[in-house]
Amino acid sequence: MIKPPDIKTLYDQLDAAEQDARSVVEGLGEEQGRWRASVDSWSVAQCLDHLGITNEVYLGSMLEPATRARSDGRLRRRPALPGPVGRWFVARMQPPVKQMSRIKTMRNITPSASPALADALARFLRSQDDVRKFLDNNADLDLASIRFPNPLVRGIRFSVATGLHVITAHDRRHLWQAWRVRRAAEGGRAIIGE
């Protein structure tokens, strides 16, 4: 089945993030994968663990509204794109991350203190597969009009379309961070503010 361009873009972004994650860990030993520049910075493994956890939490919040929309017959009427507020929020996720745009990590999506690199990568890849399955099952719905409660910011509701774009932008944000950590772990340029 031919995917609409907006849905194909989401799949392409998920595929690109998966490839980037595989590349960032390729040839990286466990010690380097767990290396942290300081006690309050993250390792490559923690970046991937955080992405897996966050994707699970976000997707979990979208499941029930999508199921309800299906039972209500709310089929696709427009592209799965964020509205103005959603676009602003997605833009804040994009790398490179400036010190002023850093967001404090909520407790429910904080990575494990020292996850194994292979486990963190596996969790992230599973979460990407789960997002793809969600798209497979729900791309025919009007994702731009279905609202879900943001699991990280109380009182805020996003469209499912915005949530999917937040996931892909958030993937890019922390994969960018993981590459910076890897370069530092390998003795490259130092990282600041991670």
DSSP label at residue 156:
-
Residue 173 domain-assigned (yes or no) = yes
Residue 103 domain-assigned (yes or no) = yes
Query: pLDDT by residue (tens digit) across 140-163?
Result: 999 999 999 988 778 889 999 999
Give the number of domains in the chain: 1
Query: pLDDT by residue (tens digit) across 80-107?
Result: 999 999 999 899 888 887 654 445 555 6
Least confident piece of the model among 34-43, 89-98, 101-110, 124-133: 101-110
Return d(Cα 142, Cα 192) in angstroms, integer. 42
Residue 194 domain-assigned (yes or no) = no
State the helix-helix crossing angle for 5-25 and 44-71, rounded to 10 degrees.
160
Mean of the per-residue pLDDT values of the chain: 89
| pLDDT for the residue 87 | 92
Domain of 110 in residue numbering reads as: 5-185
